[in-house]
Structure 1
Amino acid sequence: MNTTRFAAAPAYFPPGHEGMRCLRLQGFEAGPSASLWLGVSVILPGGHTGLDASPMEKHYVVLEGEVTISTGAQAVHLSQYDSVCLAPGEARKVENPGNRPAMLLLAMPYPP
């Protein structure tokens, strides 16, 4: 069993993430995991990612606040406990359009 306390979760710094604090909860530098890793992003008002794709499927769950996720072709506004799954290779932009911070959980498999 690997336990990561939120207060001790290591930060990571993905490119193209502005106005965000990204923390690793499981996997990579947060400890062993066989198939996926978990992260939490705290997104300040106006914070966002670029419109980028990755070769792995991504799952997002809004824990607090509200976010908008856009694929370039469509956009969805998500509130607390709403979730979205993005297919491998599907571009996405995540942004916090509101005036309150948002917290977003990310689950993603390891790269091949």
Structure 2
Amino acid sequence: MQVTRYSEAKPYEAPEHYDMRCLRLQGKEATATDTIWIGLSHLLPGGRTSLKAAAVEKIYIVVAGEVTVETVDAAVTLGVLDSCRLAPGEARALVNRTNAPASILLAMPT
């Protein structure tokens, strides 16, 4: 068993993430997970990412506040414990349009 304590989770830099702080909870350099990795991102009010696609699918779960997920075709605001899946190659942007911080989990293949 490999445990990552939130208090000991290591931050990582994600390109084109603005007013966000990201922590690696599982996978990559955090643990020996070989199929997925899990990150937790904290978005300040106005925090956002660029509209960008990844070659692999992504799953997001909001754990605090509200986060708007924008794609080329739609935009949806997710609240606490709402989730969404983005297909491989589907461009997305995350935006915190509120005046309160928000937090979102990301799960994706390694």
Tell me the TM-score normalized by structure 2.
0.98
For residues 9 and 29 of structure 1, the distance between their equivalents in structure 2, rounded to whole angstroms, comes to: 11
- Residue 87 of structure 1: CA displacement? 0.1
Q: Cα deviation per residue 1:22-47 (whole Å; 9 max; x = unaligned)?
A: 00000111111021000000000000
- Residue 86 of structure 1: CA displacement? 0.1
Task: State which drifts further: 56-65 or 27-36.
Answer: 27-36
Q: What letter matches 2:9 in structure 1?
A: A
- Residue 55 of structure 1: CA displacement? 0.4
- Residue 73 of structure 1: CA displacement? 1.4
Give the equivalent residue in structure 1 for 2:72: 72
For residues 14 and 8 of structure 1, the distance between their equivalents in structure 2, rounded to whole angstroms, comes to: 19
Aligned length: 110
Task: Provide the identity percentage.
Answer: 52
For residues 2 and 35 of structure 1, the distance between their equivalents in structure 2, rounded to whole angstroms, comes to: 15
Q: What letter matches 1:69 in structure 2?
A: V
The structure 1 segments of at least 4 consecutive aligned residues displaced by more than 2 Å after TM superposition are none
For residues 80 and 12 of structure 1, the distance between their equivalents in structure 2, rounded to whole angstroms, comes to: 23
Aligned pairs for 1:27-106 (under 5 A) are 27-106=27-106
- Residue 21 of structure 1: CA displacement? 0.3
SS at the partner of 2:29?
helix
Tell me the TM-score normalized by structure 1.
0.97
Instruction: Extract unaligned runs of 5+ from structure 1.
Output: none
Q: Cα deviation per residue 1:56-103 (whole Å; 9 max; x = unaligned)?
A: 100000000001000021000100000000000000000100010001
SS at the partner of 1:28?
coil
